[in-house]
Chain A
Amino acid sequence: MVSLKIRSLQIGKHVLIVACSCVMLLPFAWMLSTSLKTQPEVFVYPIKWIPDKLIWSNYGEVLAEKWFFGYFVNSVNLTVWPLLGKIATSSLAAFAFAKLRFPGRDMLFLLYLGTLMVPMELTLIPNYILMKELGLLGSHLSIILPGMFTAFGVFVLRQAMIVIPNELLEAARIDGAGYARAYMRIVMPLCRPSIAALAIFIFIGQWNSFLLPLIYLQTQDKYPLTIGLYNYIGQYATNYPLLMAASVLMLLPTVLFFSAANRQFIQGVAMTGIKG
């Protein structure tokens, strides 16, 4: 028999949770709502959450905007290639660290770990100079090339690979499989959850990347959505409906990704936090 007091406490906490969730979502709600308004409606008080007429054409205007599609394509470019590169290079390296024995292995890995501590801000300027000397400044390659590597990915995937029983690999070797095949046919499929979690991490990090594109890319036609939106804020400073429509569009991929995979992602964050 659950007492009335406990029940009301539980209901109270539930109400609190729902209330807090609403507060957390308020900015997005306002974003959506404003993106469908006309300009005068935006600052009406009390706030009109549902506009009289849904101005879907705001989205049309943003999409028709000369640069928007370009920004989007750039974002895709700057996300997909580094993502593929990071997964490929870090899984290969992780395999070596986890399953192969070679002199200097542990020292090298320690070095990798050490660099996890290095803030990106420190390597920002030297990399900028490097890109300038290579003549890559202003091109997507200046971001994609360095973007294909990650010590963090090596760390995470090594953790995942270490738990794979060596017997499996030995059996494969006896059957005549080379290391490459062991990697492709055995290790990678077994690591799928970790790879998926890592991929989501990387996707979101790359899609939202701001400082690097800001500095390394020099012209409008190369900027991703993050910088594009930053420019819009300056340009459309007072046209909130358009600004909000652009912001919503920018958020769409991450929202979709996140809804599909939020449980794995949150678990992934917790895991890396504990281990790290």
Chain B
Amino acid sequence: MSMRAKEITAAWLFLLPNLLGFLAFTLLPVLCAVLLGFTRWDLYNAPVWVGLDNYERLFHTDDRFVRSFWNTVYYVGVQVPVGIVIAMGAAILLNRKIRGVSVYRAIFFFPVITSFVATAAVWRWVFNPQYGPINTLLQTMGAAKPPMWLASQTWAMPAIIIITLWFFGTSMVLFLAGLQNIPQDLYEAAEIDGATKWQATLRITVPLLSPTTFMVTVLSLIWAFKSFEPFLILTDGGPAGSTSVLVFYIYELGFRFYEMGYASAAAVILFLIIFTITAAQWLVQQKWLDYS
């Protein structure tokens, strides 16, 4: 065999294990998911082809889907911006060479590596309407009837938003990396010109961080759209569906109501949302690169 042929054979042999898995468990399922979206199937009876019926149902007659969509938008719309501000602030705060800074960074990052389940019970207690510290604090501050939090249709989502903000560590780390790309001389020049620290932050740091901010925003949006565990474990989508988000609804459809085809269609919609965000990011990034 020629050298070339040997190299090509070797390449395919090296690729084979991963490739087989990739085809079987990623590529094929994606295609199937799209096909499934056009069927109605409960796994007992044979699948029935229904064309675009599922999609029509999702958008026109399914209140629950529409509700889960808007719940997700609500969650994403609040959690992402607030999370970014917190993460950026923490990164700026920790971007200094004080003693033990890596310990502090580790502390801020630590929640990210925990399983949500592990701290779920703590959050249940924190937001407990009778005994939890939040309501106890509110009561001592004079609130007559503090919110019922996870048991209230109005306050369950805000509670979950507050809880998930605790996991800002990944964004913070990304901001820290971006901050390190800002040359120190800019700050020195600003100091010579008499700028205050606050002005330096606003006029130098924030603008120069914009590429990182952009990336963190996109990533945060995607993660937020895919959120599931808090919504299952803390409230099970309730009360009255007020915390039913997209992934939760897909889970319900597929594994509680056994509407596999319909759930697949919903999953395709979720994928399209995420795809749109990613594509938009890519396009904007291209434009940005063109300008710089």
Contact = CB atoms under 8 A, between A and B. Distances in A.
Interface of A: 9, 13-14, 16-18, 20-21, 24-25, 27-28, 30-31, 34, 42-43, 45, 47, 88-90, 92-93, 95-97, 100-103, 105, 108, 111-112, 115, 117-130, 132, 145-146, 148-149, 151, 154, 178-179, 183, 204, 207-208, 210-211, 215, 225-226, 229-230, 233, 240, 243-244, 247, 250-251, 254, 258-259, 262-263, 265-266, 269-271, 273-274
Given A20-B93, A102-B11, A154-B18, A30 B122 contact: yes
A17 B93 contact: yes
A262 B115 CA distance: 17
Interface stretch (B64-72, B144-152, B271-279): B271-279
B219 to A, nearest CB: 7
B268 to A, nearest CB: 7
* Interface size, B (range): 35 or more
B7 A24 contact: no
Interface in B228-268: 228-229, 233, 247, 250-251, 254-255, 260, 263-264, 267-268
B289 to A, nearest CB: 15
A70 B131 CA distance: 33
Contact of B7 (A100, A125, A207, A271): A100
Given A122-B270, A126-B33, A13 B93 contact: yes
Contacts, number: 245
A25 B267 CA distance: 36
Given A128-B254, A130-B29, A266 B106 contact: yes
B253 to A, nearest CB: 9
A20 B15 contact: no
Nearest to A30: B122
Given A14-B98, A43-B131, A123-B26, A250 B118 contact: yes
Question: By DSSP majority rule, is chain A's interface helix, strand, loop, or mixed?
Answer: helix
A258 B133 CA distance: 29
B115 A207 contact: yes
B255 A215 contact: yes
A121 B247 contact: yes
Residue with the highest number of chain A CB atoms closer than 10 Å, among B10, B121, B166 = B121
12 contacts: A96-B15, A117-B278, A121-B247, A122-B267, A123-B29, A126-B32, A128-B255, A207-B115, A226-B117, A233-B233, A244-B121, A273-B177
B267 A247 contact: no
Contact of A16 (B25, B93, B229): B93
A213 B219 CA distance: 25
A126 B28 contact: yes
Nearest to B112: A269
B260 A125 contact: yes
Nearest to A90: B18
Contacts of A21: 104, 107-108
B106 A258 contact: yes
